[in-house]
Amino acid sequence: MSKVKKGVRLENVSKIYQDPKTKKEFYAVNNISLDIAPGEFITLLGPSGCGKTTTLRMIAGFESPDAGEIYLGDEAINTLTPNKRDTAMVFQSYALFPHMNIFDNIAYGLKLRKFSSAEIKDKVFGMMDLVGLTGMENRYTNQLSGGQQQRVALARALVVEPGVLLFDEPLSNLDAKLRLEMRSELQRLHLDTGSTFVYVTHDQMEAMTLATRICLIDNGYLQQYDAPLDVYNKPNNLFVADFVGNPAINFIDAHGKQKDGVFELDVFDGQKLKFVPNEPLDIKKWHADLAARKEAEAEEHAKKASQKGYVERSNKETSFKYHIAMIDEPEDYGDEQVYTDEDFVIGIRPEFVEISEKGKFKGEIYSSMPTGMETTVRVAIGNYLLTGVMFGGVVYKLGDKVNVGFKGNNAILFDRKSGEIITLGSLKAE
């Protein structure tokens, strides 16, 4: 397509809503800054209610930010109405016009923009070919399958050649197989149109597979904005580590000290495990830097709080509680416990859990689920459960005694108090 693609920039954007029940105001979007380059495919990812749709609607112009500025290309667009912005949106509900045939549905935006009928015909038929609707121009929406309706919605948005295309969970009404197919077509459409795509989803797999970069949001806060594999391999904190990846990452509670660079840790109720950082790191300095950062944030907050019109954040401030898988889970996770700088959490992805004679931990097969291409195994070490993924159809018998180890240098060390990543490294058992 001929049109120039545009980037999007959000600068310290916030949106405040009032909770209809409690009447309290809260931040649906809290001070988010994002720089989306022209032609990128960005996914806004996060649990339901985290502020994804609100962010997208602010870019489209259906909502206006309470603070911050949004740019399309070089232009500040906060005060522009939606139809004056070079954007188009695709909704989960398709929002097609039932009284119009497919041709007219797709032609709608072009007519508004006063294209000649020859141009409209040309563009609509071209777009119908592109999204795989050739020959369906005279049908009505009730004569189409869900997947075809979604294609019409796509074509209607794409045909006006917007600089930025916005998607709000467009595939969530489709069945699993069709969703997969449409995902791969979206990738192709992104390439063919050269448009900038901003795509909202709560499905981490969808976000991982489609995006050039993922913007992961929780409770209105930006958690991480990085390429999918960076989010996966180097998550900023426990929440990100847990949200991305299926099967989920394993978390292991660990306590100990750093000695000659290496962390000597107690894990699994009294067993020993060493964490060897990939690059030199001084934990004392790390904690000092963290404290300085927190202090600067607190100062910034105090400054804002003294300004006129400040809205106190009344969002639920429950910190993310990571899950330690156990056979007998305690009812009380010890929420009252006070953690120190010697408390850590190790994160290890299932593909780095190894069942082999070399493994130093004694375990027992708890469950084994071969799918043909791979096998997901849960192995018990004492009361603790670790999930491993083995390539190929490996068959284990439940109750088999096995040795468990960890491979590679993709283990992640987190600070337990703040939940933040400290560093990557490898795990060595004695």
Ligand X SMILES: Nc1ncnc2c1ncn2[C@@H]1O[C@H](COP(=O)(O)OP(=O)(O)O)[C@@H](O)[C@H]1O
Taking the complex as a whole, the smallest distance from the CB of residue 49 to ligand X amounts, in Å, to 4
- Which of 376, 357, 374, 373 has the alpha carbon at shortest distance from 365? 376
- Per-residue tokens: 146: 């869900």
Applying CB under 5 A, which part among 27-35, 46-54, 203-211, 266-274 lies near Mg ion? Answer: 46-54
Q: Closer CB to ligand X, residue 54 or residue 150?
A: 54
Please pick, from the candidates 14, 53, 149, 375, the single residue that binds Mg ion as defined by CB under 5 A. Answer: 53
Q: Closer CB to Mg ion, residue 90 or residue 159?
A: 90
> What residue 49 binds from Mg ion, ligand X, none (CB within 5 to 8 A, per partner kind)?
ligand X
Applying CB under 5 A, which part among 13-21, 51-59, 104-112, 360-368 lies near Mg ion? Answer: 51-59
User: Considering CB under 5 A, how many residues would be counted as binding Mg ion?
Assistant: 1
Taking the complex as a whole, the smallest distance from the CB of residue 107 to ligand X amounts, in Å, to 30
Q: Closer CB to ligand X, residue 91 or residue 140?
A: 91
Taking the complex as a whole, the smallest distance from the CB of residue 17 to ligand X amounts, in Å, to 4
Residues that bind ligand X (CB under 6 A): 17, 28, 46, 48-54
Taking the complex as a whole, the smallest distance from the CB of residue 220 to ligand X amounts, in Å, to 7
Q: Closer CB to Mg ion, residue 44 or residue 131?
A: 44
Taking the complex as a whole, the smallest distance from the CB of residue 189 to ligand X amounts, in Å, to 23
Question: Beta 353-355 vs 164-168: how paired, if at all?
Answer: unpaired
Taking the complex as a whole, the smallest distance from the CB of residue 44 to ligand X amounts, in Å, to 8
Taking the complex as a whole, the smallest distance from the CB of residue 168 to Mg ion amounts, in Å, to 6
> What residue 425 binds from ligand X, Mg ion, none (CB within 5 to 8 A, per partner kind)?
none
Applying CB under 5 A, which part among 45-53, 187-195, 242-250, 302-310 lies near Mg ion? Answer: 45-53
Which residue number places its CB atom closest to Mg ion?
Answer: 53
In angstroms, what CA-CA distances link 84 with 58, 109, 153, 280? Answer: 14, 13, 20, 52
Q: Closer CB to ligand X, residue 22 or residue 48?
A: 48
Q: What residue ranges bind Mg ion (CB under 5 A)?
A: 53
